[in-house]
């Protein structure tokens, strides 16, 4: 297993960045996909997929099996060189016409396959936006309006995914139904709390347990205002339930998950001399509230460390949300970090990092941010007021001005958020 280079604990910020790089490295499809493939099946093999890691997954598959037919949809800038599989780029997180057209081509590719064919579906986070087939009579503009309403609502990712499935012609098992009667093997990289396959990219190849009534309840609970076409599509939902015979030849394997990334970072930190506490790989909630709570936890844990004790590392993953839309540029990880910095109040000996493992926090091309005991002082020198930045949801703007952003570019994987707090004795 390949780890990032070890960094001395004397440089806490660099050490935390190395831990994040390790979490990304052990989730690289080039490492995790071949181990799940086995020998190439007899007969025709068709590869399909969608997600921010899907092109890298396709590259890894062809490295093991050689050229294959197929079509995979990924985010702009995330394409990889493949031998036979066509890679199409489309927009994320807001779908575009390229995604709609590519999804239609993907469906046409699999609907005529016979039972002697094998379809490999490569699914990862981001696939929900990239695999875009609005349920009639919805249009792409209707789909975008639903997306914006969900983002502003503060609904957790599982609620978002439930509604998306019932407004789609491809999610919630409907892609698997299109593949039948061919054999279907889905390889997934999880970016959702709990690693439920039905939540990863809105579960296009697995059974759906929610009902139309469940989806309608989400609209009510989060006071969503949807286009009229969306209400019509919801009434005609066609998700595929458990036990549907069209799923009889489908199997699913999760090849990488947040828990594995955190475990690798924990192993590296212990080797460097840290105590490690993994406080959860599926934490959800408002980013600012979670950041404040973790700051209070870090202060409490520091208070019981004695001089000479080994540093303590708190690790967590999951997916936070940001409710409301300010006039700034932000993302859940940076907002978590900003709220934590405000509550830490320059406490000596506490550093943290919060990043999305796909390299994109919110809609910005920024993975996240690092907080040190000097963060608030640096902000003051720049004339920044943290509370104002938080109220404007301008966490990326805040950390950009003090040079504390983490920018990776496309990581070609996605196992959700990575958060680490390094606590030295006071």
Is 7 contained in some domain? no
Q: Cβ–Cβ contacts within 10 Å for residue 35, how many?
A: 10
Sign of CA dihedral 153, 155, 157, 162: negative
- The reported pLDDT for the residue numbered 3 is 38
Same domain, yes or no: 234 and 373: no
Is 254 contained in some domain? no
- The reported pLDDT for the residue numbered 89 is 98
Question: Of 213, 242, 271, which residue sits at a domain end?
Answer: 242
Give residue-wise pLDDT tens across range 224-246: 999 999 999 999 999 999 999 99
Report the pLDDT averaged over residues 81-99: 96
Same domain, yes or no: 308 and 359: yes
Give residue-wise pLDDT tens across range 270-295: 999 999 999 999 999 999 999 999 99
Q: How far is CA 202 from the centre of its chain?
A: 12
- The reported pLDDT for the residue numbered 363 is 79
- The reported pLDDT for the residue numbered 194 is 86
Q: Of 174-183, 283-292, 322-331, 379-388, which range is least confident?
A: 322-331
Note whether 398 and 312 are within 8 A (CB): no
Which of 93 and 251 is assigned the larger pLDDT? Answer: 251
Q: For residue 109, give both structure tokens.
A: 């590719």
Report the pLDDT averaged over residues 193-214: 94
Is 86 contained in some domain? yes
Buried b / exposed e along 90-122 (16+ C-beta atoms within 10 A): bbbeebbebbbebbeebbebbeebeeebbbbbb
Report the pLDDT averaged over residues 354-383: 96
Same domain, yes or no: 216 and 70: yes
Same domain, yes or no: 49 and 123: yes
Question: Of 199, 216, 242, which residue sits at a domain end?
Answer: 242
Is 280 contained in some domain? yes
Question: Of 242, 275, 294, which residue sits at a domain end?
Answer: 242
Note whether 230 and 138 are within 8 A (CB): yes
- The reported pLDDT for the residue numbered 327 is 86
Same domain, yes or no: 192 and 211: yes
What band does 7 get if pLDDT is binned at 50, 70 and 90?
Answer: low
Is 403 contained in some domain? yes
Is 317 contained in some domain? yes
d(CA 182, CA 246): 10
- Residue 1 predicted with pLDDT over 60: no
Note whether 44 and 118 are within 8 A (CB): yes
Same domain, yes or no: 344 and 374: yes
Residue 90: CATH number of its domain: 3.40.50.10180
- Residue 72 predicted with pLDDT over 80: yes
Structural domain containing residue 59: 33-242
Report the pLDDT averaged over residues 300-305: 98
Is 5 contained in some domain? no
What band does 202 get if pLDDT is binned at 50, 70 and 90?
Answer: very high
- Residue 4 predicted with pLDDT over 80: no
Report the pLDDT averaged over residues 57-69: 97
Same domain, yes or no: 414 and 275: yes
Q: Cβ–Cβ contacts within 10 Å for residue 148, how many?
A: 11
Same domain, yes or no: 17 and 40: no
Same domain, yes or no: 57 and 178: yes
Same domain, yes or no: 280 and 362: yes
Q: Of 53-57, 258-262, 325-329, which range is least confident?
A: 325-329
| Partner residues linked to 259 by β-bridges | none
Report the pLDDT averaged over residues 190-215: 94
Is 386 contained in some domain? yes
Same domain, yes or no: 267 and 392: yes
Residue 416: CATH number of its domain: 3.40.1480.10
Give residue-wise pLDDT tens across range 117-169: 999 999 999 999 999 999 999 999 999 999 889 988 888 878 988 999 999 99
- Residue 112 predicted with pLDDT over 70: yes
What band does 50 get if pLDDT is binned at 50, 70 and 90?
Answer: very high
Q: Of 73-82, 86-95, 144-153, 203-212, which range is least confident?
A: 144-153
Proportion of the chain above pLDDT 90, given as a percent: 90
pTM greater than 0.75 (yes/no):
yes
Same domain, yes or no: 139 and 205: yes
Q: How many domains does the chain have?
A: 2
Report the mean per-residue pLDDT for the chain.
Answer: 95
Residues 6+ apart with CB under 8 A from 56: 28, 29, 30, 78, 80, 412, 413
């Amino acid at each position: 297993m390949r780890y990032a280079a070890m960094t001395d604990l004397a440089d806490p910020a660099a050490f935390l960045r190395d831990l994040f790089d390790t979490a990304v490295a052990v989730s690289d499809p080039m490492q995790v996909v071949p181990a799940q493939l086995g020998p190439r099946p007899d007969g025709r093999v068709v590869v399909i997929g969608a997600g921010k890691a899907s092109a890298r997954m396709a590259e890894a598959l062809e490295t093991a099996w050689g050229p294959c037919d197929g079509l995979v949809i990924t985010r702009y800038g995330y394409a990889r060189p493949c031998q036979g599989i066509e890679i199409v780029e489309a927009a994320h997180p807001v779908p575009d016409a390229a995604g709609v057209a590519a999804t239609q081509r993907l469906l046409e590719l699999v609907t005529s396959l016979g039972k002697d064919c094998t379809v490999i579906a490569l699914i990862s986070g981001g696939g929900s936006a990239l695999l875009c087939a609005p349920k009639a009579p919805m249009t792409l503009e209707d789909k975008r309006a639903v997306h914006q309403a969900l983002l502003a609502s503060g609904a957790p990712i599982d609620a978002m995914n439930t509604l998306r499935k019932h407004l789609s012609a491809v999610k919630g098992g409907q892609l698997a139904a299109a593949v039948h009667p061919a054999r279907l093997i889905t390889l997934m990289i999880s970016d959702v709390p709990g690693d439920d396959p039905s939540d990863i990219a809105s579960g296009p190849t697995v059974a759906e347990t929610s009902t139309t009534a469940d989806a309608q309840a989400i609209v009510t609970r989060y006071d969503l205002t949807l286009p009229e076409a969306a209400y019509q599509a919801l009434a005609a939902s066609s998700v595929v339930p458990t036990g549907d015979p069209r799923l009889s030849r489908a199997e699913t394997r999760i090849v990488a998950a947040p828990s594995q990334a955190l475990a690798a970072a924990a192993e590296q930190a212990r080797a460097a001399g840290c105590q490690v506490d993994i406080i959860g790989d599926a934490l959800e909630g408002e980013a600012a509230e979670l950041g404040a709570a973790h700051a209070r936890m870090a202060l409490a844990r520091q208070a019981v460390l004695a001089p000479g004790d080994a540093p303590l590392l708190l690790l967590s993953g999951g997916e936070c949300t940001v409710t409301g839309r300010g006039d700034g540029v932000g993302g859940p990880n940076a907002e978590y970090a900003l709220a934590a910095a405000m509550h830490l109040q320059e406490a000596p000996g506490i550093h943290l990092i919060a990043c999305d493992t796909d390299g994109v926090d919110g809609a910005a091309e920024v993975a996240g941010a690092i907080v040190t005991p000097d963060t608030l002082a640096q902000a003051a020198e720049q004339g920044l007021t943290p509370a104002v930045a938080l109220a404007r949801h301008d966490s990326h703007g805040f950390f950009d001005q003090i040079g504390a952003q983490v920018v990776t570019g496309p990581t070609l994987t996605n196992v959700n958020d990575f958060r680490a707090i390094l606590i030295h004795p006071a």
